[in-house]
Chains A and B, each alone.
Chain A
C-alpha cells in the first residue's frame, strides 16, 4: 500500500486510487468543480490542483494516481492561489447574476467561490452574451451560464449514447451545443434531462412551467387537478431540507392542497392500470405468437430514443400509454363524466421526476379531443419544490393527508414503477398470478431488482421459463435494442428506463442526483411497496371498479381508444 502524506497527515492509500479518492477516504476535502462521481474524469477545470512537494507544476487530484512517498499539500499558497485565480477566470466569463438564477444557493460554482472566499474578481468580465435555447418543451440551455465543464456532454455521450451535445468551436469561442449550433428541438434529443441533473450551474435546466400552473390555479373557471408520480414521494424532501430517501407522501399531498389544487391523485393508480393493460398485452402476444419481446413504453425518453434510432422496434413497443397519459385521458373522460364537469374546464397537472414527460404531454396523439392536451402541464420534482418555497410552506411541519377519493387506493406494484425493475416486477406479479390462477407465494421478485444497467432473469410461469431483461440508461438500451433489431434477443419481455436507476434517478429530480442517491430513493420505494396493503395491481379494487363501471375489459375498444397509443418512425 502506498504511504503518502496529505496536509502532513500520513495515510496508507489504496493502490491505484487517485489523490482525490485517497483524500476523501480520510475525510480531507479537496475542492472540485468538473468532477462528478458517476462520470469520467476529464480534469478540465483544474480546480482540484494540489502541490506535490518537490514538483514544479501543480497536479490535479482527480486524475493523478497516488505514488508511494508523495507529500501532498492541498492548500499550499501556490495551490490555493491557482484555485482562486481559476475561479475568478470562470466568473469573469459567466453570467454571474446569482440572485436571479434558478440555481441560486444550489450552485456548485457559487459554493466553490464562497468556500474560496472570493469577494472580487481581478479580471474584466469578458462574457459575450449568446442566445438562450428555449426551443424545446423540456429543456432550456443558457450558454451564458455554461462553464464548459463537460459533464453534460459526458452523460449524453457515454451514459446515454445519444451524443447531441458537443463542444463546438475552439478556445475562447468554444461552446457546448448540439452540432453546428443547432437548437435542441432540431436534433435527436430524447429530453431525458440527465444533462440538467449533472450541470453544476444553471446552464441547462428544465423549462420552467410553474407560472402556467400558478395561472391555472388562479383561474376560477378551472378545475385544477394534479397527479403525482411514484418517484416524487421519495425525492422531493431532499429539495426541502429533508434527508435523502425521506418518504414524504402525506406532506406532499398537504402541500399540493395548500397550493390550491382541487384534487390530488396518485399516478400509482394509472400505474396499476398500466400493469393490467400491459400484462394482458404480454399474455396476448405470448399466446397468439405476437411480436416479442414486448418492450415497455412508460419512459418517454426511451420512446423518443426508439422512434429516432430504432424505428425497427416500433412493433415491439407496448402500445400502452404511460401512466401519466393514461391518467390524463381518464381525467378528461371518465373523471369529467363522473364529476359532471366539462372536460374543457379540467386542467391536469402532473408532477414528474422527468423532463421528457413535458414533451410527452405535447405529443399530438396524447389528446382525447384532438385539440387540448390530456395533461396540460408537467412539473418536475424541482419545480414543485420551487412552488412550495414560493408559497412559503413550512414543508417539514405539514400534517399528512391522503390522496383524494375514490381513486386513493393504489398498490405497491404501482409505487415501484419509479425504480428500475419496478414495472417488470409489477407486471410479473399480475401475469404470473393470472396465468397460474393461484395466489403468488412470494411477491418480491428479487432477481429483477438492483441498479446494474442491464439485468436478466428467468421467470417460471406455468412450468414454462421466460427470459426477461431490465435495462436502465439509454446506452444500455442501445445494446439491448441492437440485439432485438438483429433478431438475437432471447427475451420475452424487456423493461427499459432511460435514467440511471429508473425514475428515482430521473432528469427532473433534485440537481446533483447520483447513482448512490438514486439507490437510496429506490430503497424507499420498495419500503412503500412493502408497507402497502395491496401489493398487486389486479387486486386494486379501484382499478376493478374502473373496468366494471367504464372500461369493460382489459384491451376493450374503449380501453384501446383511451389507454393505448401508436408510435412514429422519426429517423
Chain B
C-alpha cells in the first residue's frame, strides 16, 4: 500500500456534521492528552516531529509555535489558512468537509501551547459547503465545551470563528489574509515584521495551513519522535497529495514523504487516460514548476523540491498529456497571475502582464530569440524582487519551462520564422 492514512484516517468513516462520530473515532483525545501535559513537553514533541508547514513554503512549524509562545503580550491569535485558492489543490477542502473537528483540535492544541485565546479559520469564499460544515463543527464543539471558557474543566479558554473573503487568490498569502481579516483589501504587507511578532491587528499571530493543524493531533497522539520516523530525513510524516489533470483517478491521497511521483500518478492516480503520453506535470499548482515526464522518478520531498526554487510543498500534481499545446498551458498560467496579482508591488503588477504578452507571441507563432531572452529576464526579475510569495512564484512555471523545455521554445521560434517567411512569400 502506498497510502498511509494519518490525517485522513477518518475520511469517509464519519459524518462531518456529527461531533459524536468524531469523538467515537478517537476525536479530541489528543487534545485531552495535551491539556494534561506540560506545554514545554508539547513543544518538544512538535520540534521532535520535524513537522514542516503544509501550505507550500514548508517552514518548520515548531519555530513558529515557539515564537508565538514566547510573546508575552495579549491578545494572541491562532489563524487557520483555509483559503485554498491554488488551482490543482483541493486537499484542504477534503479535510474541511470530511473531518472538520480535526482542524479545530489542531488549533486548540496550538492555542494551548501558545496561550492564545482567539482563533479564526479563514475559508475561501467559494467553499460555501465547507464554510457551512465548519460553522456547524464550531457550534457543536462549543456546545460540548471543546471551545469557549474553561475548556473541559481546565483553565484554558479558546474560541474560534469562521471568516471568509471574496475569493481573491492572493488572500491565501499570509499577510494579505491578515489584511482581509482586518476588513481591508487583500494586499500583502511590507515585511519584516512577521506575523508571530506583529500579525492580525498588529498582535502576535500564528498562521498555519489546514493540513498542518490537522497533523498536530496526530503528532500528539503518536509522539514526535515516532512521527519523524515516517517519511524522509528532511521531510517527515505524510502528505496529502491532490492529483488532477489527465489521470484516471483524480483525488486526494495521503502518502508518506519519499514516494516517487511516478508511483503516485500510476498507482494512485490510475495512470494517464487512454494510455496517452504525459507531456508535462505541474507540481504544487499554478505557482509550481513544470517538469518533463522523465523527471517523475523524483520523490516527494521538501529538500528535493528546493531545486525548483519554488514553494511546491502544498502537494499537487497536475498531469498534462500530449494533446495540449505547451504554450497554451503557459498562457493560461500567465493569465491567471495577471488576473490575481494584487497590484501592490511593481514587478508583479506590471511583469505578469508582460509575461503574458510575450507568451502570447509564442502561442501565435510570432516569437523571436529576443522574446525568449526577455521572457527569461522578466521571469527572473519577478522571481527575485516581488514583495510576496505570489509574485515570487508566479513565474516559476515559465522559469522551469525554459529550463526543462528549452528545445520546445527554440522550435517554436524557428516555426515562427518560417511562418513569417510564408506570410512574406504570400505578399
Contacts of A122 in B (CB 8 A): 370, 374
Contact status B385-A171, CB under 8 Å: no
The answer to whether A57 and B384 touch across the interface, beta carbons within 8 angstroms, is yes
How far is A171 from B345 in the complex, measured between Cα atoms in Å?
9
The stretch of B268-276, B333-341, B413-421 in contact with A is: B333-341
- Measured between beta carbons, the chain A residues less than 8 angstroms from B392 are 57
B383–chain A nearest beta-carbon distance, Å: 7
Q: How far is the CA of A352 from the CA of B387 in the complex (A)?
A: 40
Query: Which of B168, B378, B384, B387 is within 8 Å of A44, CB to CB?
Result: B387
In the complex, are the beta carbons of B381 and A85 less than 8 A apart?
Answer: yes
Contact assessment for B346 and A90 in the assembled complex, using a CB-CB cutoff below 8 Å:
yes
Interface string of A87-123 (1 = CB under 8 A from B): 0011011000000000000000000000000000011
Are A148 and B343 touching (Cβ within 8 A)?
A: yes
Q: Are A82 and B346 in contact (CB under 8 A)?
A: no
- B384 partner, pick from A58, A65, A172, beta carbons under 8 A: A58
B163 lies within 8 A of chain A by Cβ = no
Q: A172 — nearest CB in chain B belongs to which residue?
A: B353
Known: A46-B387, A81-B377, A81-B381. A89 touches B343 (CB 8 A): no
Q: Which stretch, B101-109, B184-192, B195-203, touches the partner chain A?
A: B184-192
B349 at the interface (CB under 8 A from A): yes
Interface: B139 (CB within 8 A): no
Q: Which of B192, B346, B353 has the most CB of A within 10 A?
A: B346
Q: B335 → chain A, closest Cβ, in Å?
A: 11
User: Does A43 make an interface contact (CB < 8 A)?
Assistant: yes
Digitize A21-47: 1 where CB-to-B-CB distance is under 8 Å, 0 elsewhere: 000000000000000000001111110
* CB–CB B342/A89 < 8 A: no
Provide the B314-352 mask, 1 if CB < 8 A to any CB of A, else 0: 000000000000000000000000111111111101111
Q: Please tell me if the beta carbons of B341 and A171 are within 8 angstroms of each other in the complex.
A: yes
In the complex, A170→B354 CA distance in Å?
A: 16
Cα of A41 to Cα of B192 in the assembled complex, Å: 11
- Interface presence of A124 (CB below 8 A): yes
Q: Is the CB of A90 within 8 A of B350?
A: yes
Q: Which residues of the partner chain A approach B161 to less than 8 Å between Cβ atoms?
A: none
- Residue of A56, A85, A169 most packed against chain B (CB within 10 A): A85
A126 at the interface (CB under 8 A from B): yes
In the complex, whether A211 has a CB less than 8 A from a CB of chain B is no
Task: Using A46-B346, A122-B374, A167-B343 as known contacts, say yes or no to A57 and B192 having CB atoms under 8 A apart.
Answer: no
The interface centre, meaning the residue of B185, B187, B345, B378 with most chain A CB atoms within 10 A of its CB, is: B345
Q: A174 at interface (Cβ–Cβ under 8 A)?
A: yes
In the bound complex, how far is the Cα of B351 from the Cα of A122, in angstroms?
12
Interface set, chain B 139-197, CB cutoff 8 A to A: 168, 185, 187, 190-192
Q: Does B309 contact A (CB under 8 A)?
A: yes
Q: Is the interface of A mostly helix, strand, loop or mixed?
A: loop
A63: B residues at CB distance < 8 A: 190-192
CA distance A569 to B377 in the complex (A): 56
Bound together, the chains give a CA A359 to CA B45 distance in angstroms of 67
Residues of B in contact with A, size category:
35 or more
- Say yes or no: A126 contacts B353, CB within 8 Å: yes
A81 cross-chain contacts in B, Cβ below 8 A: 377, 381
Say yes or no for B357: interface residue by CB 8 A criterion: yes
A14 to B137 Cα, complex, angstroms: 51
Beyond A43-B190, A85-B377, is A170–B385 a contact (Cβ under 8 Å)? Answer: no
B343 neighbours in A (Cβ, 8 Å): 148, 167, 169-174
A129–B86 CA distance with the chains assembled, in angstroms: 33
A78 interface residue (CB < 8 Å to B): yes
**Residues of chain B within 8 A of A90, CB atoms compared:** 346, 350
Nearest-Cβ distance from residue A19 to partner chain B, whole angstroms: 13
Pairwise interchain contact A93-B345, C-beta atoms closer than 8 A: no
Residues of B within 8 A of A169 (CB): 343
Residues of A within 8 A of B377 (CB): 81, 85
A455 to B79, CA, bound (A): 42
With A92-B354, A172-B338 as given contacts, are A46 and B385 in contact (CB-CB < 8 Å)? Answer: yes
A297 located at the interface, meaning its Cβ lies under 8 Å from any Cβ of chain B in the complex? no
For the complex, what is the distance from the CA of A123 to the CA of B192, rounded to whole Å? 32
Q: Which residues does chain B contribute within 8 Å of A9, judged by CB atoms?
A: none
Say yes or no: is A86 at the interface (Cβ < 8 Å to chain B): yes
In the complex, which residues 417-439 of chain A have their Cβ closer than 8 Å to any Cβ of chain B? none
Q: Contacts A65-B192, A86-B381 given: A45-B374 contact, CB under 8 Å?
A: no
Nearest residue (CB) in B for A62 is B190
Q: Are B349 and A171 in contact (CB under 8 A)?
A: yes
A464 to B374 CA separation, bound complex (whole angstroms): 75
Q: In the complex, which of the residues A41, A86, A124 contacts B385, with contact meaning CB atoms closer than 8 Å?
A: A86
A63 to B345, CA, bound (A): 13
In the assembled complex, how far is the CB of residue A56 from the closest CB belonging to chain B, in whole angstroms?
6
Contacts of B387 in A (CB 8 A): 43-44, 46
* A51 closest partner in B (C-beta): B384
Q: How far is the CA of A280 from the CA of B357 in the complex (A)?
A: 69
Chain A residues closer than 8 Å to B81, beta-carbon distance: none
A322 at the interface (CB under 8 A from B): no
**Do A167 and B346 form a contact, CB below 8 Å, given A57-B383, A58-B385, A86-B385?**
no
Q: How far is the CA of A126 from the CA of B392 in the complex (A)?
A: 22
Residue numbers in A under 8 Å from B381 (CB-CB): 81-82, 85-86
Picked from B168, B190, B309, B374, the residue with its CB within 8 Å of the CB of A170 is B168
Give the distance in Å from the alpha carbon of A169 to the alpha carbon of B191 in the complex. 23
- Of the candidates A57, A65, A171, which one forms a contact with B342 in the assembled complex, judged by CB atoms under 8 Å apart? A171
* A-facing residues in B375-395 (Cβ within 8 Å): 377-378, 381, 383-387, 392
Closest Cβ neighbor of A56 among chain B residues: B309
Q: Is B346 touching A45 in the complex (CB atoms < 8 A)?
A: yes
A58 to B345: give the CA distance in the assembly, Å: 14
Contacts of A174 in B (CB 8 A): 342-343, 349
A56 to B344, CA, bound (A): 22
Additional 4 contacts, C-beta under 8 A, given A44-B346, A46-B345, A85-B381: A46-B346, A122-B370, A126-B357, A167-B343
- 25 pairs, CB–CB < 8 Å, chain A vs chain B: A41-B190, A42-B344, A44-B346, A44-B387, A49-B385, A56-B309, A57-B384, A65-B192, A78-B384, A85-B377, A85-B381, A86-B385, A90-B350, A92-B350, A123-B354, A126-B357, A148-B343, A148-B346, A148-B349, A167-B187, A167-B343, A171-B340, A171-B343, A172-B338, A172-B343
Q: Which residues of B contact A (CB under 8 A)?
A: 168, 185, 187, 190-192, 309, 338-347, 349-354, 357, 370, 374, 377-378, 381, 383-387, 392
Which 8 residue pairs spanning A and B have beta carbons closest together? A174-B343, A89-B350, A171-B341, A85-B381, A46-B385, A171-B343, A58-B384, A43-B190
